[in-house]
Amino acid sequence: MRLMSVVIFVSTAVIVCLISFLILSRFVLGWSVVGLLELSTLSALWLYMVGAVVASRNREHITVDFVTQSLGSPRLRAAHDLAVAVIIFVLGLFFLSLAKDMIDWSMRRPQVTPGLGISLFAGQAALVAAAVLGLAYSLRDIILSAVAFMNSTKGA
């Protein structure tokens, strides 16, 4: 989590500084600085993907909490949590599959950014990291939800 916090802080600072300088340089000074947009986009990609992993870690991914709040029984709530965890896991497998396909394609056709020549793997690594870590957290959620469901059936 500390590493993710550092990535979030650094990428946010880079985005703010680069976009501010980009706006200032283009509209006030009349300069066109090559590579600023590439770096800010790369930073934004890492920020979004690490933010998604943090949301998964904290179990704050998108859910319809109206359903959870309307369930009165602890057993039904535990079953609902388990169902959500399984759905997120299946979606995580799909995301990991897409990330693998993206890496396979880019291995056949390696590309770099036009201005600075940064390998597109720098951005793709954020997607792969998010897919792997998100899948790990969803597996954790399945285990915790299954344990909670088993405990709720013992009391019933």
Question: Could you give the C-alpha distances from 10 to 17, 45, 47, 59, 108, in angstroms and in order?
Answer: 10, 12, 9, 24, 32
pLDDT in tens, 102-147: 999 988 999 999 999 999 999 999 999 999 999 999 999 999 999 9
Of 104, 100, 96, the closest CA to residue 132 belongs to 96
Residue 74: the pLDDT is 86
* Residue 156 reports pLDDT greater than 70: no
The terminus-to-terminus CA distance of the chain in angstroms comes to 37
* Residue 9 reports pLDDT greater than 70: yes
Output the CA torsion sign for 32, 44, 90, 100.
Answer: positive
* Residue 38 reports pLDDT greater than 90: yes
Tokens read off for 134 = 């998100």
Distance CA 44, CA 122 (A): 12
Question: Tokens 């394609």 appear where?
Answer: 105
* Residue 67 reports pLDDT greater than 90: no
Residue 100's pLDDT band, with cuts at 50, 70 and 90, is very high
DSSP state of 58: T
Beta-bridge partners for 119: 112
Cβ neighbours for 139, distance < 8 A, ≥ 6 positions apart: 89
The pTM (predicted TM-score) of the whole model is: 0.83
Half-sphere exposure of 94 (CA within 13 A, CB side): 6
Of 7, 69, 79, 81, the closest CA to residue 44 belongs to 7
Full domain range(s) for residue 118: 2-155
Question: Tokens 């179990």 appear where?
Answer: 59
Structural domains of the chain, count: 1
φ, ψ (nearest 5 deg) of residue 73: -85, 130
